[in-house]
Amino acid sequence: MRWVDLKESLKDFWFEFKRQKGGLLGLFLLALLVFTALAAPYITEPDIPEKWTAYWEGNPTNVPPVWYNYFTAKKLAPHRILTYRDVKITSEGEDLGGGIRYYAFEFDYNNRYDLPPKDLIIKNIGVKLADLNSPAQIVITVFRPDGQKIELLSADLVEGSIYQIAKMGAVRNNVFNWALQFEDPKNVEGRVETIKSTMDVMEVIFAKAEPGILINPQPLHGDYKFQVEIFTFNEGDRIDLKQIQIILTGRTYGFMGTDYKGRDLWAGLVWGTRVSLVVGVSVAVLSVLIGIAYGVTSAYLGGWKDEFMQRVNEFVASIPTLPILILLGAAFKGHVTLWTIVFLLVMFGWTGIAKVARSMALQIKEQTYVEAAKALGAGTGRIIFKHIMPQIMPYAFAVMALSVPGAVLTEASLSFLGLGDPTAVTWGQILYDAQTNSATINGYWWWVIPPGLAISLVALTFVLIGVALDRVLNPRLRRL
Amino acid sequence: MGYGRYLAIRLLNALLVLALVTLLVSILFTKVAEEDLKSSIQEQINMKLRANPELMKQLSADPERFQEWYQNEYNRLIGAYELDKPFWVRVLERTKDTLTLNFGNTKTPIFGETNVKKIIAAAIPRTVLLFTTAQIIVILIGLLLGVKAAQVAGSALDRAVSIIAMLTSSIPMWWFGMIAILVFSFKLGWFPSGGMTSTPPKEGFAYYTDILYHMVLPVGTIVFVLFGGWAWTTRNIMIGTMQEDFIMAARAKGVPERKVIYGHALRAAAPPIITMTIFSLLGSLGGAIITEGVFNWPGMGRLYWTALQQNETRLLMGVTFVTVALYLISMILADLAYGYLDPRVKVGASQRT
């Protein structure tokens, strides 16, 4: 085929394809998916696959996305991370005499939410102690919009200290004692210890100072100022606040919320596109190519060879794929890679196409031009690849597109059963985690709905393209 | 090649597949048995040491002698359990166990049972109950909708059927089950989120209505995901049949349209539709199995899920073997049905060129 001919036939093809609305929609979706897959490192972060299997420290677990606030009456605080740039340094090593130095910084938090952050974590305070036996001292205080002031914590500061306000017993004590002065004594009578151990520390810190603050805290909106003071007692002690990190653990997180490991589901969703597309497309292309080569060869050889190849085909076709895949997956559990899955799916996926290709090739084989080629002394390979295959290729493209959804769904099913590549970020695996952590009965919709929609979207994209291709390339179907 | 020979080949084929699966299962079986036995051997040696303090004192004084004693003991037990035989010999020995469905016991009881054979025997009827009910509904809806769509090809209904078929065939059935639980069980609280009966099970007639109540969500899920594809396939077959000459002849004779469709066309389209039924039944079995796991329905799917979650390899082997065997039996039944329904079947004769 010459270049001009190819260009011409492509032009014809595009003219026909343009009229298939579903096909165009499919192409648009495909472009979107490919873009997402390619741009994944830029849309999210480039190191997602490496850190995917670990717990994401500091992130809230099982929280809905930020935009969930638009649909709820109770506004939930989003996740926020403050760094050196967000804090106001008020004292940098002021000498208080006697070798004592004073450092202090402040940060503001505007609480517009009905449920405040889950926790307040302060970490990475760069402290170098000259003498490990005399640690520095840290005092954390909050100034509330109503003028009240709570001293949350006064504790030792050593290298590597992390302060999780909501989880520290000392803070709980301080906050409880502070709140008790406003609480109606009748509310806590006889239940002091229970209330103290079960109250949500953060909710009380951000609550209106009124009776009921302990048993049913009402949110107090406004600007809160947190002050952190550090005292060092040795001349050699060094404090460096450049790396400081203050995490206000959210009740909502990002575009898609988080799962039980605190992982950003949006990142998983974006990166999952890659696996889905790569597995789907490579399985489809490989199995169609193998199937067509097999079918055409079988038809061309004829006789007992054809018979034998057909028997082999039937044998493979009658193997129930999923149970066998599950069995193999369980046997290699933990060592399955994406390419193993591709290989297995191709192994079971070529048979149907081989059958159709064979019957098409049987017709083509009888054409006079094949006979002419034979008479001219063309070899088997040349006839198959030069004369028969090009006739079947248009059909092949449609079948390729139509066999992607099956591959995508099977891959997702295997991952959902926990048999996928454990190191890859896949949608099926996100849903597997959701299922094993009872996400459905806990109502974690943000964890269940998006990955499945994504799987369906990929499948639908290729169904649309496949059906449109089929209509254009196999005109006999057009009357239907 | 006549129909008899075709069937014989199909049978042989099924046996070959079964043999392959048996071999696979047996290999896995041998591996698991080896691991189990080795850990049991360690245990036995330790027991022996603990039961005999005199020996322990002697051996702990001399590490070299201890090594020697340990190795001797280990080799003796390996021999006793026949673990010194070559791998393939053991695989062949295990094949017998596989073929007689003798898969041994699970580590923890499932459905109050540890014998794999009994567990599977308890699970099969439950899967059949759920799956058959769903499939009957799917076929009924699919058939009616498909015939209707074929009748008015190109209309809004016809296009709707195509679109629904495309959409639902792209949905993973088990995921849709999760969504159904999220919406109807968590959010609205209309249906239970899983299981086959309430705990504890109800008595008398209420027991059966309770099962029906628990079946609504899983059956609804299977029906929703499958009916579109079904209607679409029926539609395509029917449209093909409706263009045949005998339909034109029937119409020309003045046979009422209703009778043309249900009497003539549907009858001619029956064989492909019925084989489609059986094959799509088999095809959707995989998805339905996983869906069952999502709904915690105590059938084969739940067994797959439990086996994978709790590393019950013996159970997994049993379930896989039984599933494959059932699959192959149904496939042969499909072939038989096709030959019976369509006397034109002369497979192979037309293929010979």
Query: Which among A440, A447, A458, A465 is the top mutation candidate for probing chain B, defined by the most B β-carbons within 10 Å of its own β-carbon?
Result: A440
* Structural domain of B209: 118-349
Tens digits of residue pLDDT in A7-49 = 887 888 888 888 888 888 988 999 999 998 888 888 888 887 8
Query: Which among B16, B175, B184 is the top mutation candidate for probing chain A, defined by the most A β-carbons within 10 Å of its own β-carbon?
Result: B175
B290: nearest CB among A319, A413, A442: A413
**B264 vs B241, B242, B247, CA distance in Å?**
9, 9, 7
Question: What average pLDDT is seen over chain A?
Answer: 83
Which residues make Cβ contacts (< 8 Å) with residue A469, sequence separation at least 6?
A17, A23, A397, A398, A401
User: Of B67, B100, B133, which residue sits at a domain end?
Assistant: B100
> Which residues of chain B neighbour A418 with C-beta distances below 8 Å?
308-309
Encoded tokens for B145: 């909708």
Secondary structure of residue A367 in the 3-state scheme: coil
Amino acid found at A162: I
Place B1 in a pLDDT band, splitting at 50, 70 and 90.
Answer: low
Q: Same domain for B172 and B278?
A: yes
**A262 vs A11, A421, A438, CA distance in Å?**
50, 21, 16
Domains of chain A from N-terminus onward = 3-53+263-477 (1.10.3720.10), 75-249 (2.60.120)
- Of A437, A70, A404, the residue nearest B178 (C-alpha): A437
Q: Is the Cβ pair B308, A326 closer than 8 Å?
A: yes
A7: exposed, middle or buried (Cβ count in 10 Å: 0-12, 13-18, 19+): exposed
B181: nearest CB among A417, A441, A456: A441
SS3 for A28-96 is HHHHHHHHHHHHHHHHCCCCHHHHCCCCCCCCCCCCCCHHHHHHCCCCECECEEEEHHHCEEEEEEEEE
Domain count, chain B: 2
Q: Same domain for B189 and B337?
A: yes
Q: Same domain for B51 and B156?
A: no
Give the nearest chain A residue to B29 (CA atoms): A331
Please compute the mean of the pLDDT values over residues A411-415 and round it to a whole number. Answer: 87
Supply the pLDDT for residue A400. 85
Q: Same domain for B205 and B292?
A: yes
Q: Same domain for B190 and B224?
A: yes
Residue B105 lies in a domain: no
Distance separating alpha carbons of residues A324 and B302, to the nearest angstrom: 17
Query: What residue has token string 């989003």?
Result: A78
Q: Is the Cβ pair B178, A440 closer than 8 Å?
A: yes
Q: Is the Cβ pair B316, A330 closer than 8 Å?
A: yes
Tens digits of residue pLDDT in B4-62 = 777 787 788 788 888 887 887 778 777 777 777 777 787 887 777 777 777 777 777 77
Place B2 in a pLDDT band, splitting at 50, 70 and 90.
Answer: low
**Residue A317 C-alpha, separation from nearest chain B C-alpha, in angstroms:** 10
pLDDT(B345) > 60: no
A318: nearest CB among B174, B178, B331: B331
Secondary structure of residue A195 in the 3-state scheme: helix
Task: Tell me the range of A35-39, A200-204, B282-286, B313-317 where mean pLDDT is highest.
Answer: A35-39
CATH number reported for the structural domain that contains residue B167 in this entry? 1.10.3720.10
Q: Are B105 and B314 in contact (CB under 8 A)?
A: yes
pLDDT(B342) > 70: no
Q: Same domain for B210 and B123?
A: yes
Q: What is the DSSP letter of A78?
A: B
The count of other CB atoms within 10 Å of the CB of residue A428 is 30
Task: Tell me the range of A233-247, A254-268, A274-288, B288-302 where mean pLDDT is highest.
Answer: A274-288
Dihedral pair phi/psi, residue A252, rounded to 5°: -135, 160
Higher-scoring residue by pLDDT: A338, B153: A338
Distance separating alpha carbons of residues B107 and B114, to the nearest angstrom: 7
Distance separating alpha carbons of residues B228 and B161, to the nearest angstrom: 6
pLDDT(B344) > 70: no
Supply the pLDDT for residue A477. 44
SS3 for A398-467 is HHHHHHHHHHHHHHHHHHHCCCCCCCCCCHHHHHHHHHHCCHHHHCCHHHHHHHHHHHHHHHHHHHHHHH
pLDDT(A272) > 80: yes
User: Of B38, B71, B100, which residue sits at a domain end?
Assistant: B100
Supply the pLDDT for residue A457. 92
- ipTM of the predicted assembly exceeds 0.90: no
Q: Are A405 and B170 in contact (CB under 8 A)?
A: yes
> Which residues of chain A neighbour B154 with C-beta distances below 8 Å?
none
Encoded tokens for A153: 């914590």
Place A194 in a pLDDT band, splitting at 50, 70 and 90.
Answer: confident
Encoded tokens for B71: 């190795």
Supply the pLDDT for residue B22. 80
Distance separating alpha carbons of residues A433 and A427, to the nearest angstrom: 10
pLDDT(B283) > 80: no
**Residue B28 C-alpha, separation from nearest chain A C-alpha, in angstroms:** 7
The count of other CB atoms within 10 Å of the CB of residue A435 is 24
Q: Same domain for B335 and B221?
A: yes
The H or E element containing residue B129 is helix B116-151
Tens digits of residue pLDDT in B67-122 = 787 788 778 877 777 777 777 777 777 777 777 777 777 777 777 777 888 888 88
Q: Same domain for B81 and B175?
A: no
Distance separating alpha carbons of residues A232 and A103, to the nearest angstrom: 8
Tens digits of residue pLDDT in B296-319 = 888 888 888 888 877 777 788 888
Encoded tokens for A178: 């502070």
Q: Is B285 on the interface with A (CB under 8 A)?
A: yes
Question: What average pLDDT is seen over chain B?
Answer: 79
Encoded tokens for B264: 């003539």
Q: What is the DSSP letter of A47?
A: T
> Which residues of chain B neighbour A455 with C-beta distances below 8 Å?
172, 175
**Residue B267 C-alpha, separation from nearest chain A C-alpha, in angstroms:** 20
Place A283 in a pLDDT band, splitting at 50, 70 and 90.
Answer: very high
Tens digits of residue pLDDT in A60-115 = 878 888 888 788 878 888 888 888 888 888 888 777 777 788 888 888 888 888 88
A326: nearest CB among B17, B175, B320: B320
Q: Is the Cβ pair B171, A452 closer than 8 Å?
A: yes
**Strand-pair partners of A110:** A223
Distance separating alpha carbons of residues B178 and B181, to the nearest angstrom: 5
Residue B92 lies in a domain: yes
Q: Is the Cβ pair A418, B309 closer than 8 Å?
A: yes
Q: Is B282 on the interface with A (CB under 8 A)?
A: yes
pLDDT(B349) > 50: no
Residue B112 lies in a domain: no
Which residues make Cβ contacts (< 8 Å) with residue B299, sequence separation at least 6?
B123, B124, B126, B127, B130, B292
pLDDT(A407) > 70: yes
**Residue B55 C-alpha, separation from nearest chain A C-alpha, in angstroms:** 41
Please compute the mean of the pLDDT values over residues A462-471 and round it to a whole number. Answer: 86
Query: Which among B25, B163, B178, B324 is the top mutation candidate for probing chain A, defined by the most A β-carbons within 10 Å of its own β-carbon?
Result: B178
Higher-scoring residue by pLDDT: A213, A479: A213
Distance separating alpha carbons of residues A400 and A413, to the nearest angstrom: 20
Supply the pLDDT for residue B351. 44
Encoded tokens for A423: 């190191």
Distance separating alpha carbons of residues A251 and A213, to the nearest angstrom: 20
Query: What residue has token string 């090649």?
Result: B1
Secondary structure of residue B307 in the 3-state scheme: helix
Say how many CB pairs under 8 Å bridge A and B: 142
pLDDT(A478) > 60: no
Q: Same domain for B341 and B280?
A: yes
